[in-house]
């Protein structure tokens, strides 16, 4: 199984409990980005375009544990930036595993073999290795030759050591379904436990703006891939209903609070992909975010989004409401031939707002305020003749 049975049971009971207790909004996976610094500069990435002072920031071990205490989601995906650049990452992972949280540590794998001795296999821990397709596709995606081969060598090594490992495969416009299907065969043959796949989100800061998929192309691409996968034993770490959504068979609305993101800025509003503001606490994020302002049909920047951070939680919640439906899709695979489900109208979406520069400016001000040396206290000097003068600095 792509997800161990115990993990599926624990996450399933967590979801059912939230429904029974009538909790309207709840987190399913906490996304944690304890740093933005990366050792690659991928053309489709919109996460690393910050000044050096911000890229040098790290969340401490305690801040990561506190984020988990606040959020309480049963699964935590640690991303970035490149998490293996964080010196305290082994301690963060150990601390979260001790709390019996299921950890996915996302990495481009360039440092994995070097750092592997710092980690131990656990049913609560999985490596999640970035691989956007075969050698030609992946090396082009990360803008560096040789990265695919290093990632594959790392996958073999971690499997030898008894770790669980999944791959994280983002697809862009122009992806060839036959090539992707062959790539999925290849990674299954390598022994990966699961595939996580999604279309790339059109980050406004990504250097390459030309290769993001719109919704229609996304749905057609995934239909074509899944058609080629009929009868094969591809294992996905995602809900079958999310895959069915990617193939155009579900009219899902976004659930951005399902995968809340904590970064060096705080809790990001509204989701992992969009940084439209930051809350100081998880409660503030949940209570004060105008959730109805976001999602496809509500906001221009969400128009083409079909990413798991917004829609996988919707699929999981749908599975609780319609267990017979997920059972059918899990058994039969996503539908690839019938007409697609209706698309959400964009007629009333609000226009995009561009606030990135404002957040960067605010963070830079905070950092420079924190750096300024404290003014020395004014000292009263008492002279022998009882005259008083004041010394400062
Ligand atoms: S649709 Fe949802 S997940 Fe996608 S960018 Fe908008 S708020 Fe985020």
Residue 3: C-alpha distances to residues 18, 27, 122, 325, 352 (Å): 21, 19, 13, 19, 37
Between the CA of 294 and the centroid of ligand 1 the distance, in Å, is: 6
Task: Tell me the whole-structure pTM to 2 decimals.
Answer: 0.92
Tokens describing residue 191: 């022994």
Q: Whose CA is nearest to atom 5 of ligand 1?
A: 302
Tokens describing residue 142: 């990360």
Q: Does residue 326 fall inside a structural domain?
A: yes
Show the DSSP H helices in the chain as ranges. 5-20, 52-55, 61-71, 89-98, 112-115, 135-141, 147-160, 177-190, 215-228, 240-246, 282-288, 308-321, 323-332, 356-371
Q: Does residue 392 fall inside a structural domain?
A: no
CA separation for the pair 59, 83 (Å, rounded): 11
| pLDDT of 114 above 70 | yes
Ligand 1: residue of 304, 310, 351 to mutate (most ligand atoms within 8 A of CB) is 310
Between the CA of 37 and the centroid of ligand 1 the distance, in Å, is: 23
| pLDDT of 365 above 60 | yes
CA separation for the pair 116, 124 (Å, rounded): 16
Compute the average pLDDT of residues 345-354. 95
Per residue in 303-329, pLDDT (tens digit) is: 999 999 999 999 999 998 999 999 999
Q: Does residue 374 fall inside a structural domain?
A: no
pLDDT at 373: 61
Per residue in 216-251, pLDDT (tens digit) is: 999 999 999 999 999 999 999 999 999 999 999 999
Q: Whose CA is nearest to atom 4 of ligand 1?
A: 305
pLDDT band at 393 (very low <50, low <70, confident <90, very high): very low
Per residue in 132-161, pLDDT (tens digit) is: 999 999 999 999 999 999 999 999 999 999
Tokens describing residue 75: 């699964």
**For the chain, what is the domain count?**
1
Q: Does residue 375 fall inside a structural domain?
A: no
CATH code for position 242: 3.20.20.70
pLDDT at 180: 98
| pLDDT of 386 above 60 | no
Q: Does ligand 1 come within 6 angstroms of the Cβ of 275?
A: no
Between the CA of 269 and the centroid of ligand 1 the distance, in Å, is: 10
CA separation for the pair 2, 357 (Å, rounded): 40
> By CB neighbour count within 10 A (0-12 exposed, 13-18 middle, 19+ buried), where does 96 fall?
buried
Q: Does residue 368 fall inside a structural domain?
A: no
Tokens describing residue 63: 């801040």
Q: Does residue 393 fall inside a structural domain?
A: no
From the alpha carbon of 271, which atom of ligand 1 is closest?
8
Q: Which domain holds residue 339?
A: 5-362
Q: Does residue 389 fall inside a structural domain?
A: no
Residues 208/49, Cβ–Cβ less than 8 Å? no
Better-predicted residue by pLDDT, 208 or 195: 195
| pLDDT of 380 above 70 | no
Q: Does residue 351 fall inside a structural domain?
A: yes
Q: Whose CA is nearest to atom 1 of ligand 1?
A: 295
Tokens describing residue 137: 């596709």
| pLDDT of 106 above 60 | yes
From the alpha carbon of 272, which atom of ligand 1 is closest?
8
Q: Does ligand 1 come within 6 angstroms of the Cβ of 258?
A: no
């Amino acid at each position: 199984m792509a997800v161990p049975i115990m993990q599926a049971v624990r996450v399933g009971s967590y979801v059912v409990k939230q429904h029974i207790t009538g909790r309207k909004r709840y987190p399913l996976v906490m996304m944690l980005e304890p740093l933005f610094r990366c050792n690659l500069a991928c053309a489709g990435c919109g996460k690393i375009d910050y000044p050096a002072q911000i890229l040098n920031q790290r969340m401490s071990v305690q801040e990561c544990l506190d984020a988990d205490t606040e959020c309480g989601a049963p699964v935590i995906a640690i991303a970035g930036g490149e998490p293996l650049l964080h010196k305290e990452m082994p301690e963060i992972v150990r601390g979260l595993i001790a709390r019996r949280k299921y950890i996915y540590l996302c990495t481009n794998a360039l440092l994995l073999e070097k750092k592997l001795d710092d980690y131990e296999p656990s049913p609560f821990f999985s490596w999640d290795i970035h691989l956007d397709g075969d050698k030609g596709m992946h090396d082009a995606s990360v803008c560096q030759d040789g990265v695919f081969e290093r990632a594959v060598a790392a996958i073999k090594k971690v499997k030898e050591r008894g770790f669980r490992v999944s791959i994280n495969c983002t697809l862009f416009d122009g992806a060839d379904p036959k090539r992707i299907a062959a790539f999925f065969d290849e990674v299954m043959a390598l022994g990966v436990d699961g595939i996580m796949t999604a279309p790339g989100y059109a980050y406004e800061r990504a250097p390459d703006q030309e290769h993001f998929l719109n919704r229609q192309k996304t749905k057609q691409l995934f239909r074509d891939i899944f058609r080629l996968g009929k009868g094969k034993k591809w294992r996905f770490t995602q809900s079958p209903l999310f895959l069915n959504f990617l193939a155009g068979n579900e009219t899902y609305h976004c659930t951005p609070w399902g995968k809340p993101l904590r970064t060096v800025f705080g809790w990001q509003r509204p989701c992992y992909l969009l940084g439209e503001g930051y809350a100081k606490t998880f409660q503030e994020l949940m209570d004060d975010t105008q959730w109805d302002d976001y999602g496809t049909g509500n906001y221009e920047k969400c128009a083409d989004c079909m990413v798991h951070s917004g829609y996988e939680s919707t699929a999981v919640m749908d599975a609780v409401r319609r267990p017979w439906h997920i059972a059918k899709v899990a058994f039969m695979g996503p539908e690839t031939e019938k007409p697609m489900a209706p698309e959400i109208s964009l007629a009333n979406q609000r226009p995009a707002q561009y606030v990135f520069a404002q957040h960067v400016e605010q963070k830079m001000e905070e950092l420079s305020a924190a750096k300024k040396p404290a003014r020395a206290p004014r000292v009263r000097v008492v002279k022998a003749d009882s005259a008083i003068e004041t010394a400062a600095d």
